[in-house]
A and B are shown apart, each in its own frame.
Chain A
Amino acid sequence: MTGMTTRSTPRVLGVALATAVIVALLSIKLNAFRDYQIAEIAIEVTAVAGLTVLTGLSGQISLGNGAFMAVGAYTTALLMLHLNWPFVLVLVLAAVITAVAGAVVGVAAARLHGPYLAGATLLLGVALPSVAYAYQGAFGGDQGLDVNFTTPSFLGVNFPLTRWEAWVCSAAALITLVLLANLGRSRVGRSWRAVRDDEVAAALAGVNVAATRILAFVVSAACAGLAGALLAIVTGLVAPGAFTITLSIALLTAAVIGGLGTLPGAVWGSLVIVLVPTYATDVATSHGLSSSVASNIPVAAYGAVLILVMLIFPQGIQGAVRWLLGLFGISSARTRQRADVPDALSPADDTPTVKQRRSASPEGSSSGNQ
């Protein structure tokens, strides 16, 4: 057990470092708008990774993570506006404060299941951004709050702001992914899966079900808060119009399209959510369609991708990737693909079949095999 963890942590770090190098190279090679899109993708990844852990690993659905992003974004705006703190500190604090909000919601959520939990978090997603209208003096109402973010002086005056934003957001996203990957493999992750698969069995095995469920909300909220903070510094404005219920649903969509419960899936889903509408718009506008048709093509493309992925690969894009890898015999992914989805986070031990997993958690150590 211990040996396995020490083996995989350097591997995760290696992948993260390699990705960081690739992103850095891309950000230098590509134009400023693509840098901005890299930042957008990284923000999306941060939020979706948090949600995929909550929903995929701990089995709790949330339609309110857009509201957590709003908490992070407003925290950032207020801190930068009134206290003018360095942004790294602000990002961390935004994540912490949102985590506290997540704990509060988590306490309520731990008592709810299925559609009731979805309903409660939906309420959060709808109601919380409206607080900005209720307290216009503090939150600027519909107009929102300005966030002033610039490149640090050591990079020189000519360093493009969008490249700096791409770096900051990608770094935050990668750190989040590394931490979540480790958390998913740790005792906490095993408890989440145990609770997700069978609460009674988990409780009998000594897992504190309520605390485990609340912790999942805290982690998820912290990720969303960090994503909201990044969104605030990148767009330069925090306004309630950016945190509608559509945002929460888009996050869940990204998690599902990518492959619920898997961190690579969070990356896939984010790529789809950010890039498909832009491509569809480019295609639509370059073919001389009438504006009423062209403007609806991105929305239609988004829907079509969602339907196709769900029809062909119910386990999301990551499921498709595993299936393809299995086809080419590159790895033992064939067996993994047949098993339940959320195993990308689980350690690389022998994965039991779906049926076995229903009755026992995947790791035969602390919480399994009752």
Chain B
Amino acid sequence: MKRSNRFRAPAIAVLAAAALAVAACSSSSSPSSSSTGGSSPAAGASSGSASAPLTASAPGITSTSILIGSHQPLTGPAAPGYSEIAPASAAYFSYVNAHGGVYGRDIDYKYLDDAYNPTQTATVVRQLVLQDNVYAIFDGLGTPTHLAVESFLNAQKVPDVFVASGCDCWDQPTTDPETFGWQLDYIREGKILGQYIAQHFKGKKIGYFYQDDEFGMDGVKGLDDEIPSSMVVSRQSYVDTNVNVAPQVAALRASGAQVVVSFSIPAFTALLKLTSLKLGFSPTLVVSNVGSDPITLSGLLESFAKQGGATVNGNSLTDGIITDSYAPSLGDAGNSWIALFKKVHAEYDAKAPFDGNVLYGMGVAYTFVQAMLAAGRNPTRADLVNAINAGLPQGPLVAPYAYSMTDHDGVTGAYIGVINNGALTPEGPVLTTDTSATGAITPYTGTQPTAPASGIPAP
């Protein structure tokens, strides 16, 4: 008798505690799930009338608020720099909320940390969709992370707008109709950088340095469309978990490359630069937009050098780096968008430095407000997707968007620039192109509209 008790008691305790733990979960979650309900009522479609009362037209939408969610690397290796993006978006939404909101509704932006780990992305996005009942997932950051939830979001018919990654994989309107890119995709970017190199460095030896994943390989695909293969003397890739790039840099040096094109994240652009210095190798550097934000880069250069026991001036090391940008230059004080976002930044997000990440977060938030306004007064989830499919007017970015029923890529072009004393100096016109190997690269003839005086897009 005694024996059986002894065995049973722990087992019962485990069961009881497990039941308690899960019951505790349910009590905290039931209000949110019951208040917003599961499927969208049909009433939302009647969004035409300007005086129609605001209704809970879709999951996540109430008469007073719109709840959207996101997954972001707030901790872990991808956090430096990228963790500024979501707070910047939230700052812009706060600005919009303080100035009347979207048709009177406040935007409530809930972004959760996935530490750039796809398993965690899968968890937090399910939490946002299944438990918090967000209206849409907005600006989910990262290629491998977001791929872990793309099919889930499309199966659930949750709008998956403006993924923060330039992978061409977001442009699949037939299989993934809910998913939209936003930033310049890496193929277009590779083509634009490639054309510049082919034109400006004729007869020089070119070396590639790229991240061994979709990002780097899409970029190389674009470069190869424009740069004759006879010019390319070395192709070196790196994996973002191995910070020793000395073998790659040594190979580039040995190949005699005079120009090195780098499709790298900021940390590896810095490692490339510092390792080159150490090996006495000083090619002209051409770096993709993702890895070339001057402020982030100069900070990384200084902190990496410090770890190695050296002192460098970050700004002087970034001088002369050629890159491209699809957003106005941060240093362009005359640009109305920079002025607007600077104002919002000073008011709502002053602790973060005003760098490319903050500009990105605010720009993508502005685009989301554009899309929400186009979706109508009482939008369903489908209304948002339809509104983006109908095309969005050009906003904070220098080139128009590609959005249509058959194209879910974001911005279509960029300009070349040179980093000069920590700021990007534009060089040449805005160039637009498509993702095909033969698609022409043409200067953009339109002009970027000025930012609205109110700071909020017109409906």
Contacts and interface: CB of A to CB of B under 8 A. Distances in A.
Interface of A: 7-8, 11, 15, 18-19, 22, 26, 29-34, 36-38, 40, 130, 133, 136, 141-144, 146, 148, 162, 231, 234-237, 239-242, 244, 246-247, 264, 267-268, 271, 275, 278, 281-282, 285, 290-292, 295-296, 298-299, 318, 321-322, 325, 330-333, 336, 344, 348
Nearest to B2: A332
Interface of A is mostly: helix
A142 B25 contact: no
Given A264-B10, A264-B14, A330-B5, 5 more contacts: A142-B214, A144-B144, A239-B144, A285-B112, A333-B6
Contact of B26 (A29, A36, A244, A285): A29
Contacts of A267: 14, 18
Contact of B9 (A18, A271, A278, A325): A325
A298 B76 CA distance: 12
Given A142-B213, A241-B144, A33 B15 contact: no
A22 B23 CA distance: 11
A141 B211 CA distance: 11
Interface in B116-139: 116-119, 122-123, 126-127, 129-131
Contacts of A246: 117
B157 to A, nearest CB: 14
Contacts, number: 175
In the complex, the 10 A-B pairs of residues with the closest C-beta atoms, listed nearest first: A295-B74, A142-B213, A33-B131, A33-B130, A32-B130, A235-B122, A242-B119, A237-B148, A331-B9, A331-B6
Contacts of B144: 142-144, 239-241
B29 interface: yes
A325 B10 contact: yes
Interface string B133-159: 000000000011101100110000000
A295 B75 contact: yes
A236 B151 contact: yes
Interface string B164-197: 0000010000000000000000000000000000
A130 B241 contact: yes
Nearest to A326: B9
B127 A33 contact: yes
A18 B111 CA distance: 38
A143 B122 contact: no
Given A33-B131, A36-B126, A264 B25 contact: no
A37 B13 contact: no
A333 B9 contact: yes
B8 A143 contact: no
14 contacts: A26-B23, A29-B26, A31-B30, A31-B33, A36-B123, A142-B214, A162-B130, A241-B118, A242-B117, A275-B25, A291-B90, A291-B111, A325-B10, A344-B10
B125 to A, nearest CB: 10
B26 A31 contact: yes
B19 A40 contact: no
A157 to B, nearest CB: 12
B6 A275 contact: no
A162 B130 CA distance: 10
B75 A296 contact: yes
Contact of B127 (A26, A133, A239, A278): A278
Contacts of B2: 332
A33 B119 CA distance: 15
Contact of B15 (A19, A141, A292): A19
A310 B266 CA distance: 39
A141 B241 CA distance: 13
A143 B147 contact: yes
Nearest to B123: A40
A292 B119 contact: no
B265 to A, nearest CB: 12
Contacts of A332: 2, 5-6
